[in-house]
Amino acid sequence: MIRKAEFVISNSNPGNCPKPDRAEIAFIGRSNVGKSSLINMLTNKKGLAKTSQTPGKTQLINHFLINDQWYLVDLPGYGFAKVNVKVKEGWENMIKTYLTKRENLCGVFILIDSRLEPQKIDLEFLLWCGVNGVPAALIFTKADKLSKTKTEQNVRKFLKKTEEIFEEAPDYFVTSAENQMGKDEVNAFLEELVREYENGAAE
Ligand SMILES: Nc1nc2c(ncn2[C@@H]2O[C@H](COP(=O)(O)OP(=O)(O)OP(=O)(O)O)[C@@H](O)[C@H]2O)c(=O)[nH]1
Ligand SMILES: [Mg+2]
């Protein structure tokens, strides 16, 4: 259960992130997929992470402290943000540096828009995580938008694609920030990741 969530710091330089002295879990995905909305849903705090209808709202690495215990991180989106190429490359570098260098990172959730057929950019990002040893799980977002059947179809198609990349399909969750679907399941998984990290650190 998330009882307490507070903003800590925003950074453009991964080197300036808080001291890596506790478990950390990050959220990433295409611009506008619903990362910030999901974080607000999971933490029961509407305005915690800034959301917007315009893609490209989150532009920095944002650290939130959860239950005075672990960090949750909201990252900028990859993909169709309306910013120029140089800025986009800058973000990509920042994100990739963060994901590969952050020593306390226990996991990354890649958010996927459940309304869409499998997107190349998401599969490529998932593959990049695999190649770089970044432990990734999937969260399908906006499940309130389509019928259950259609959502399930898209989820299945995406998972099938991942089987072409990995032997084992990644962990996945189907969610809606609108109606709280998937909240308990995702929160339980977050807790599990934090517990594993803390047990590992104690050894
Ligand atoms: N219907 C519905 N709309 C959602 C859901 N999650 C997010 N949205 C909407 O999608 C838009 C983008 O949401 P954000 O949470 O700002 O997306 P983001 O991935 O953080 O976007 P960037 O920071 O720009 O990369 C907003 O208009 C949200 O209200 C959802 O579960 N259901
Ligand atoms: Mg955002």
Q: Looking at ligand 1, which residue's alpha carbon is closest to its atom 8?
A: 34
The domain made up of 5-202 is a member of CATH 3.40.50.300: yes
Q: Which parts of the chain register pLDDT below 50?
A: none
Q: Looking at ligand 1, which residue's alpha carbon is closest to its atom 16?
A: 51
Q: Is 164 exposed, middle or buried (0-12, 13-18, 19+ CB in 10 A)?
A: exposed
Q: Looking at ligand 1, which residue's alpha carbon is closest to its atom 11?
A: 53
Complex-level ipTM beyond the 0.95 threshold: yes
Of the candidates 107, 120, 55, the residue with the CA atom closest to the CA atom of residue 81: 55
Whether the Cβ atoms of residue 111 and residue 141 lie closer than 8 Å to each other: yes
Ligand nearest to the CA of 42: 1
Find residue 6's DSSP bridge partners. Answer: 65
* Residue whose pair of structure tokens reads 């934090």 in the numeric block: 194
Q: Which two tokens stand for residue 81?
A: 């943000």
* pLDDT at site 7: 95
What are the pLDDT digits (tens) for 149-201? 999 999 999 999 999 888 888 999 999 999 999 999 999 999 999 999 999 87
> What letters, b where the CB count within 10 A reaches 16 and e where it falls short, cover 146-162?
eeeeebeebbeebeebb
Give the residue extent of every domain in the chain: 5-202
Residues with CB under 6 A from ligand 1: 29, 31-37, 51-53, 55-58, 76-77, 141-142, 144-145, 176-178
> What letters, b where the CB count within 10 A reaches 16 and e where it falls short, cover 185-199?
ebeebbbebbeebee
